[in-house]
């Protein structure tokens, strides 16, 4: 084969493999500087401090309002505990520490409610006012009169009706007063819890405030 023939044949050249084009989205790099992180943490700390301060102020206001309200309402009733001798005679040695005290606090209100409860239990064998059927007794008197019962029988029925009505009225008044005293105790307890929560909120605010200030100092030193 001649050299001309050889030169006319196309020369086979290897195909270069082309590398895939890089994905622009995959090469994005997000840089997060330390100063940026510090600023975010400082801002969060300042906001949290303000939130704790506001919460503590509201809780403290609620605690003071509860204490003042309970004290004012109880003091206006002029309720006093019996003397120590009377309490011992009634078997209420647990209340001797409150002897002769005026009821002005939630704790005293709870104690006096217990004192009233002891008296109420002895009025109608432990029954509440709603369990006493004074209306039925009054109706029995009327039925006896309508049926022509003797005066003695009517008098006995009337005495029973009067006794039941007196018991029901006494229990109603006593249980109402007892309920009011226990409500005062409940409000006092809520106020006390609010006071503890206010202290916790102020402590948290002080801690977050300290951390925020420390973060600001650290940020300035980096300048």
Give 130-164 pLDDT, tens digit per residue: 888 888 988 988 888 888 888 888 898 899 889 99
SS3 assignment, position 102: strand
Residues 6+ apart with CB under 8 A from 212: 42, 45, 46, 49
Question: What is the pLDDT, as a whole number, of residue 7?
Answer: 47
Residues 74 and 19: their CA atoms lie apart, in Å, by 89
In the chain, what is the straight-line distance between the N-terminal and C-terminal CA atoms, in Å? 82
More confident of the two residues 10 and 65: 65
When the pLDDT of each residue in the chain is averaged and rounded to a whole number, the result is: 85
Q: Which of 8-12, 19-23, 55-59, 174-178 has the lowest mean pLDDT?
A: 8-12
Q: List, for residues 71-86, the tens digit of each pLDDT value.
A: 999 999 899 999 999 9
Pick the residue with more confidence: 33 or 203? 203
- Residue 1: which pLDDT band, with cuts at 50, 70 and 90? very low
Confidence of residue 21 (pLDDT cuts 50, 70, 90): low
Q: What sign results for the dihedral spanned by CA atoms 175, 177, 183, 186?
A: negative
Residue 13 has pLDDT above 70, yes or no: no
Let me know: does 137 contact 160? Beta carbons within 8 Å.
yes
């Amino acid at each position: 084969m001649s050299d001309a023939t050889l030169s006319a044949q196309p020369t086979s050249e290897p195909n270069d493999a082309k590398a895939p084009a890089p994905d622009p989205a995959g090469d994005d790099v997000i840089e997060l500087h330390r100063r940026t992180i510090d600023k975010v943490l400082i801002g969060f700390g300042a906001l949290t401090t303000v939130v704790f301060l506001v919460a503590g102020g509201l809780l403290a206001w609620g605690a003071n309002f509860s204490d003042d309200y309970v004290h004012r309402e109880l003091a206006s009733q002029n309720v006093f505990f019996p003397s120590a001798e009377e309490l011992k005679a009634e078997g209420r040695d647990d209340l001797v520490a409150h002897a002769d005290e005026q009821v002005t606090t939630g704790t005293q209100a709870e104690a006096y409610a217990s004192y009233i409860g002891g008296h109420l239990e002895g009025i109608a064998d432990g029954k509440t006012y709603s369990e006493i059927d004074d209306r039925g007794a009054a109706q029995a008197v009327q039925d006896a009169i309508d049926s022509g019962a003797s005066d003695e029988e009517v008098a006995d029925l009337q005495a029973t009706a009067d006794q039941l009505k007196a018991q029901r009225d006494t229990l109603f008044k006593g249980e109402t007063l007892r309920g009011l005293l226990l409500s005062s105790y409940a409000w006092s307890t809520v106020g006390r819890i609010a006071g503890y929560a206010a202290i916790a909120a102020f402590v948290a605010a002080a801690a977050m405030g300290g951390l925020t200030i420390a973060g600001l100092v650290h940020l300035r030193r980096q300048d």
